[in-house]
Structure 1
Amino acid sequence: MTRQRLVRQVMACAVAVAFATVLACCSTGGAPTTTAATSGSTSGSGSGSGSTSGKPNVVFVLTDDLSMNLISHMPQVQALQKAGTTMSNYRVVDSLCCPSRSAIFTGEYPHNDGVFTNSGSDGGYDAYNKNGDAQKSYALSMQKAGYTTGFMGKYLNGYQPTDPKPAGWDEWDVAGNGYPEFNYTLNENGKQVKYGHSANDYMVDVLSGKADSFISASASSGKPFMLQVATFAPHAPYTPAPRYASAAQGLAYPKTPAYDALPSNPPSWLKGRPTLKAGQEKKLLNGYRKRVEADLAVNDLIGNVRKTLQAKGIADNTYIVFSSDNGYHMGEYRLTAGKQTAFDTDIHVPMIVSGPGVPADRTVTQPMSNVDLAPTFESLAGATVPSTVDGVSMVDAWHGKPPADAPQAVLIEHHGPDNTPGDPDRQGKKAADPPSYEAVRTPDALYVRYASGEEEFYDTAKDPYELHNLGSKAVPASLRTALAALEKCKGAAACQAAARV
């Protein structure tokens, strides 16, 4: 047996053992999962509500650039799936950090919140504030509904630890440049605190400890709480915790038919891209392994959250939500590491939830997107959902009920290409993210229209890897009508009417 094969088998066995241990409440921070019909039916120390109001608590773990092909290496996330419900057709409305996060906070599409990119006049923290988006955050609604709110980790691109704490957040532990995971500064409720390069300074672990303290204090207060923990991991430079350095060596990249391939009839911006060179493939493989290693600490964070909720007796009254701001391509469509396309590699991200009344080990195929998170959180809190919100609540879908006003399509928006020096998505000497586009994604189709008028259409029911562009002549009239309405819609009623194709 070769050394590489042996390492792969050892790692596979380790993951299998870890997953089995998680299900039995592992000693490294796991929490027991329920085998009952719903994930809110555990017994023992997790049976308390932790809230004198009876309102549920929410812990939302948002990762950065996490792609779907990483979940198989995160046993705590797999345990969360077993304990709860997975939204299999959940997508982001802009596959880029800041516009995706802005959509989460406001519940608005980029064309309404004004945040399309990570910097400049149409992006970043400055555009978010310029458009008054801070006053639309779900945190304000939940705070008014009696919730203690906490935010930890990565906020918005361009935010600096010297910037003030935004309204709506009671606890604020936020970094600026936390991508290296070491040698960063946190704004801890207005105080700048520097962290170094010791193992204890690893940011994901620091956030895990702060989440534990916040949950413990909130449980003692008797007030319901909303906590968002936004990790920088596994974003480049893909820094793992020291304990997981080299843990994924020998792991192969999970190549799909889209790897190092172009769609038939490719759009202009992709046409002519050369096949990947050996050096590029090696870099992609090493990057993927480091991303797996970085996510192992995120996996621990989730386990620690579940263990703390159980220990404090509030597990049965707490929703745990896991997702990512966007996906990530690494070699698919001959593109090196990046995002921003309308392909599923970039827009399809996990949406996994467990909590009171959420059916266990269930998959929901209802299309939803990240503009639906704000109204979901506000609805769980019994708060007023602002009229500016474009999304609809996922509460019914989470609890096994058909949503009353279910959308059938998701709008994806993008401004590009990004030619900013130092942009992490640049590929070689030029940007390789697409030019500006608007797109519609349904469960069985992808329709993209670029600012130039060029169009793409994929029948994803027959072509799940989006490799056969059927072109303009194949676009159904219903999708053109939906896109025309969606890209101008404002407010939940108009946007959901436009989304019914």
Structure 2
Amino acid sequence: MSTWARRCAALVACLLVLAAACGVGDDFGKPRKGVVSPGGPKPNIVFVLTDDLSWDLVQYMPRVKKMREQGVTFSNFIATNTLCCPSRATILSGKYPHNTQVLTNEPPNGGWQRFNSNGGERDTFATTMESSGYRTALMGKYLNGYDPSKVQAGSQAFVPPGWTEWYATSLGYRHYDYTLSENGKAVRYGNRPTDYLTDVLSGKAVDFVNRSTTSRPFLLKLSTFAPHAPFKPAPRHANLFPGVQAPRGPAFNEPDISDKPKWMQAWPRIGPKGIQTIDAKYRGRVQMVQAVDEMIGRVQQALADRGLDKNTYIVFGSDNGFHMGQHRLVEGKGTAYDPDVRVPLIVTGPGVPAGRTVDRLTANTDLRPTFEELAGVKTAPKADGRSLVPFLRGQKVRSWRNSVLIEHAGPVSDPSDPDYPGRGWGNPPSYMAVRTTNELYIEYDAGEREYYDLRVDLGSRQNMAAQLPVPRRDQLSGLLAALKECAGAACRSADQGT
């Protein structure tokens, strides 16, 4: 072969390799400007995880709304358990609650103690990413039961593996008079305005970013207690939104709940005073998220000031949602209905398409695989979720799940549990549910069932379980049975079809 022919052959080979790398000719479309090259610097990740933040609060968060304009919104992102600790254990591990064995907020079936004793902390996105060279930090809420003022390892508070920097507690619900473990040292905060927890976390996050360089990537998990009860806003926000009311959706103070399961049927309609209370508490939630929104803005500015913004993904989400007045339930969570399980997930970053909404069913099991793929880290095969990176790169995804498992071990019976329900909140017994693209199907341990066709009943007002054709009922029940026993690849297979 002549020298010219050899050069032509080499050029063709190079072009083929380049085309394959860029996705030319496959169903992933053209490469997008700004996508981080696999051989380039690894991206930073800022993960803002809020507590009990429902979709109806996003409209009051201007920076989060701007993120929606700049990035991808996952409109059907499902929490696989609506209690704080089980959901957060799932987020860390990428596993359903039945695989983390963290089913509640408190021992023996849940809490930090369960996650710790099961070895869950040794296999999280933090451990894999730190071992791959990432600088990792958690700031704010960890898992229920982790108390830096009591949990000691020698002379220091326990710091889980995988975290390069650690500023955490699980007892910051009142936003004042709390103790943070600051890299193992228990530090007490008081009740001055400057001690407001969301603002403290904001300052620590900015400091973390300011100490970052382009030579070592980082993952920062900012885990707020807002807007969890008792709905304490920062002083500067306490008088904002004086006329705001809780949304009056189709299920608000539902007139007829005779079709609902027995645990709900005893609830009377909410009277005027009860509705006033709902509005006042909703206003407190709206006020609380102002500090979260400002925190996001401060972090975004710090990233820009350091020249890190072009190579940083910002992920905004919540561990679970929150109901306020739907189905006559005054407030709370724990149900399988959308206000509790369908929560925001919004992502901006390099190569992320602007203003796009993904309506595919996604879940909190997917966050670990997503972070790890962004970081170029191979996800452990035991993870139950799937990476969302193809959606973040604007790729076409032909095969995707159309069902998600929702698990609940109830009722909540420990008065010390921060999710212990108050009067009129609702406290459902144990159930398993499957959420498909257009349906919600629930099986309670006692044998009761619920079924809602979400194409025509977005508020889940009319329980059609008794009218559900037997073949479809058996199909959904079989899918539910497969999902509640699945692990790893079996979860990713079992949830593909209905």
Please, which of 203, 207, 230 is the counterpart of residue 237 of structure 1?
230
Please, which of 207, 225, 232 is the counterpart of residue 213 of structure 1?
207
2:497: which partner in 1? Answer: 500
Q: Distance in 2 between matches of 1:403 and 1:186?
A: 42
1:96: which partner in 2? Answer: 83
1:131-146 equivalences under 5 Å are 131-146=118-133
1:140-179 equivalences under 5 Å are 140-162=127-149, 163=151, 164-179=158-173
Deviations 1:17-61 (A, max 9, x none): xxxxxxxxxxxxxxxxxxxx999759xxxxxx9x99611110000
2:53: which partner in 1? Answer: 66
Q: Distance in 1 between matches of 2:435 and 2:283?
A: 30
* Cα deviation, residue 196, structure 1: 1.5
1:333: which partner in 2? Answer: 327
Distance 1:53 1:214, change over 3 A: farther
Q: Distance in 1 between matches of 2:70 and 2:78?
A: 22
Please, which of 241, 253, 259 is the counterpart of residue 248 of structure 1?
241
* Root-mean-square deviation over aligned CA pairs: 2.1
Q: Distance in 2 between matches of 1:217 and 1:246?
A: 35
1:197-212 equivalences under 5 Å are 197-212=191-206
Deviations 1:396-438 (A, max 9, x none): 0222223465211110000001121244545556872211001
Q: Does 2:412 align with 1:415? A: no
**Which amino acid in structure 2 is aligned with residue 456 of structure 1?**
E
1:294-373 equivalences under 5 Å are 294-373=288-367
Secondary structure of the corresponding residue to residue 59 of structure 1: strand
Distance 1:83 1:430, change over 3 A: closer
Is the CA contact 1:38–1:83 (under 8 Å) kept in the aligned structure 2? no
Of all paired residues, the percent bearing the same amino acid is 45
Q: TM-score of the superposition, structure 2-length normalised?
A: 0.88
Please, which of 410, 424, 443 is the counterpart of residue 449 of structure 1?
443
Q: Structure 1: which 5+ runs fail to align?
A: 1-36, 43-48
Q: Distance in 1 between matches of 2:357 and 2:279?
A: 30
Q: Does 2:250 align with 1:260? A: no
Q: TM-score of the superposition, structure 1-length normalised?
A: 0.87
Q: Distance in 1 between matches of 2:489 and 2:370?
A: 13
Deviations 1:136-171 (A, max 9, x none): 211001111110000000000010114300000001
Is the CA contact 1:378–1:384 (under 8 Å) kept in the aligned structure 2? yes
**Which amino acid in structure 2 is aligned with residue 500 of structure 1?**
G
Distance 1:379 1:468, change over 3 A: same
Distance 1:339 1:431, change over 3 A: closer
* Cα deviation, residue 112, structure 1: 0.6
Distance 1:428 1:85, change over 3 A: closer
Q: For structure 1, which segment, 323-332 or 245-254, has the greater mean C-alpha deviation from structure 2 after superposition?
A: 245-254
Please, which of 180, 183, 192 is the counterpart of residue 186 of structure 2?
192
* Cα deviation, residue 337, structure 1: 1.5
Is the CA contact 1:259–1:332 (under 8 Å) kept in the aligned structure 2? yes
Q: Structure 2: which 5+ runs fail to align?
A: 1-29, 152-157
Q: Distance in 1 between matches of 2:416 and 2:282?
A: 21
Deviations 1:213-250 (A, max 9, x none): 11121226x10100100000111111111110111211
**Which amino acid in structure 2 is aligned with residue 61 of structure 1?**
V
Q: For structure 1, which segment, 474-483 or 207-216, has the greater mean C-alpha deviation from structure 2 after superposition?
A: 474-483
* Cα deviation, residue 174, structure 1: 0.6
Q: Does 2:467 align with 1:480? A: no
Q: Does 2:389 align with 1:389? A: no
Is the CA contact 1:161–1:186 (under 8 Å) kept in the aligned structure 2? yes
Is the CA contact 1:392–1:492 (under 8 Å) kept in the aligned structure 2? no
Is the CA contact 1:440–1:446 (under 8 Å) kept in the aligned structure 2? yes
Q: For structure 1, which segment, 125-134 or 255-264, has the greater mean C-alpha deviation from structure 2 after superposition?
A: 255-264
Is the CA contact 1:103–1:371 (under 8 Å) kept in the aligned structure 2? yes
Secondary structure of the corresponding residue to residue 168 of structure 2: strand
Is the CA contact 2:83–2:419 (under 8 Å) kept in the aligned structure 1? no
Q: Does 2:465 align with 1:471? A: yes
Distance 1:52 1:462, change over 3 A: closer
Q: Distance in 1 between matches of 2:419 and 2:114?
A: 20
Please, which of 268, 273, 281 is the counterpart of residue 274 of structure 1?
268
Is the CA contact 2:32–2:393 (under 8 Å) kept in the aligned structure 1? no
Q: Distance in 2 between matches of 1:39 and 1:179?
A: 42
* Cα deviation, residue 199, structure 1: 1.6
